[in-house]
Structure 1
Amino acid sequence: MHVSPSVIAELQRTTAPADIPVKAAEQRWAAYAPPGTAALFAGDTLLHTDLAPHNVLVDDRAHIIDWAWPTRGAAWIDPAILILRVLEAGHTLVDADALACRFPSWRTAPAEAKKAFAAANAAAWQEIARADAAPWKASMAGHAVAFHVHLHAKPGNR
């Protein structure tokens, strides 16, 4: 998988437009988040939230396409979503977390917020996999659960 960190870093500097209706992250994942934690996902950054390889075209630079789920929220959410795609490409949990740590937003995000989002994302992917038995969806649910467990076991995240 090749997703240029620079295109994501550039996206993280983009504020979600105020005059276009974009779902807020705390609303999008509220049904899946542990009670009382969805507010931790709030922010003003424009998030793509589906950084699958087919949504990033690379020529002389990277282009993020297919904005089916644009979201307004905390900048560290797109790196959290990228982690699952890195796992999907065959990398380890440690490698995926290390890639996310290349983004200041992920490094500085509160551990509580990252763990709450990992829980919400795992619950969302599990629901997706139950609704549609496509093997890739079950695989993504497994990656999301594994990353949630990894964050809880990671030193300094307790």
Structure 2
Amino acid sequence: MVIDAVQELQEITAPADMAIKAADQRWAMYALPGTADLLAGHTLLHTDLAPHNVLVDNRAHLVDWAWPTRGAARIDPAVLILRLLEAGHLLTSADSIARQFPSWRNAPGPAVQAFTTANAAAWAEIARADSALWKAAMGRHATAFETWAKTFPAR
């Protein structure tokens, strides 16, 4: 059901008049020079697919839209991978789940690396600023994901 909800979101273009951050701006300070533009796009992104932001009844509902973003559709599947790692999945199984989304399956390697690098830097900063154990764990997952994305042979 979560995959269905994220897939439905993947098909929504963020309205041009909606006052939300663009992904290339949101992660620009964390991205390597010249790579933030690889995060740009027109899809409405949730970007915070934490378990408490997904309510399930007869379908999954994405709630708590604190970080809505306009950007490349492949970003939400990447965010989902981090949450799957948090839930105990291995990177290979999390990637296998994310590959159900065409935006992730067809993502160019440099774009995947641009996001994973910027997101790892963002989570490292979050973990430094707050000693909560879950934030440190997310920082470790994001770093592992970044390292994996650089070496994964299918990319």
TM range (shorter): over 0.9
SS state of the match for residue 113, structure 2?
helix
Q: Which of 49, 52, 56 is the matching residue for 1:51?
A: 49
Structure 1: state its 5+ residue gaps: none
Residue in structure 1 matched with residue 123 of structure 2 by the alignment: 125
Unaligned runs of 5+ in 2: none
Amino acid in structure 2 at the alignment position of 1:110: P
Q: What's 1:106 paired with?
A: 104
- Alignment map for 1:56-67 (pairs within 5 Å): 56-67=54-65
- Secondary structure of 1:63 counterpart: strand
1:112-148 Cα shifts (integer Å, max 9, x gaps) = 0001100000000000000001000000000000011
Identity of aligned residues (%): 65
Distance in 2 between the 1:156 and 1:88 partners?
Answer: 23
What secondary structure does 2:142 align onto? helix
Deviating beyond 4 angstroms after TM superposition, the runs of 4 or more aligned structure 1 residues are none
Match of 1:78, SS state, is helix
Task: Give the length in aligned residue pairs.
Answer: 155
Q: Which residue of 2 aligns with 1:91?
A: 89
Q: What are the within-5 Å matches in structure 2 for residues 70-89 of structure 1? A: 70-89=68-87
Q: Please, what TM-score do these two structures have when normalized by structure 1?
A: 0.96
Amino acid across the alignment from 2:72:
A
Aligned counterparts of 2:18 and 2:151: Cα–Cα separation in 1: 39
Q: CA offset at residue 4 of structure 1?
A: 1.5
